[in-house]
Structure 1
Amino acid sequence: MPAFRRLYELLAGDLLQYIRLFTGNRADAEEILQDVFVKLWEKRETLPDIRSFRSYLFKMGRNHVLNYLRSEKKWETLPAEDPVLIQPDPAEKAIIKEYYRIAQDAIDHLPERRKQVFRLREEDGLSLDEIASLLGISKSAVKQHLYAATAHIRKYLQQYGVSTVYLPLFCTYLYT
């Protein structure tokens, strides 16, 4: 239980902000957040198999928001498909588009090699070893470039008042 509590302490604030984007209401967002963590606790045995835990958690949050909107009849035209397959609505797309523009600006301000490493990783999905081999640099250098690129992008986003909670979201949508 202490590890789960620590996980909650680390991620609940960011997830709550993300959920509030869609509910517009703190009370509903807190209820959805609680539901997400209850569901997470129920699935705790499967958690070691998850590659990107933060992305998994935010996807759970998004699915719970969609279920909430559907149940409250606030989104009358939601398709009946699996929520994971539902595309973002126009309001969500507008937010993502603006954040995408800011994230692209941040990437454009990276030094050339760092930008190249970041794009090979995010756009092409190459492993650290593949990037190192392709560029003729060490795996350690690739990690340093990625760390520095991510730090730069986070700082850039914060300068524009965008919570870094959205960084995983940007990496999901940047090259799709």
Structure 2
Amino acid sequence: MNHLPCSCAYLTGVFLITLISGCATFVSSHEEETTATGQQCAQPSEAVVLQGRYRRARPGPTADQTNLLLQIIELDIPTPPVESVGSALKYLLLKSGFQLCNTSIELNQLLDLPVPAVHLKLGPMALRDALETLSGPAWSLEVDQSQRRICFSKRDPLMNRPVTGEQP
């Protein structure tokens, strides 16, 4: 008869030690700090919520939930329905929470331009960056947060100097 070197008591002991030193995690809403006099006082800390077994999260909105222009987008703009910068901007803003402002003669100059092929696939990038990419350096992004409207205005012509690498 073959005897194993481990007895049941040994296995039970190993099991209990593993169980005691296991992954029990307690999240407290206060941390203790020792003062110069040696007294301990409770200091409030940021609340932490356990999500699942190992992941911790701070409750509250994320940065892109409070500032919608920071939301990360990745977008493939469909063609042929989207052929102008205006229709590309509208497509980009569909689920962003923003809408394009009322058009003007000046803004129509931008909106009627054809979409460059390189802009048909955008991201991952922040919504603000995608809007500025589609409009180009000659246009300034204007945001009305109260109405959640996006608009563009022409930059000062003196600011429209050639980009590095271009010839005047």
- Relative contact order: is structure 1 or structure 2 higher (C-alpha 8 Å, sep ≥ 6)? 1
TM-score by length of 2: 0.25
TM-score, normalising length from structure 1? 0.25
Q: More strand by proportion, 1 or 2?
A: 2
Query: Greater CA radius of gyration, 1 or 2?
Result: 2
Q: Which has the higher helix share?
A: 1
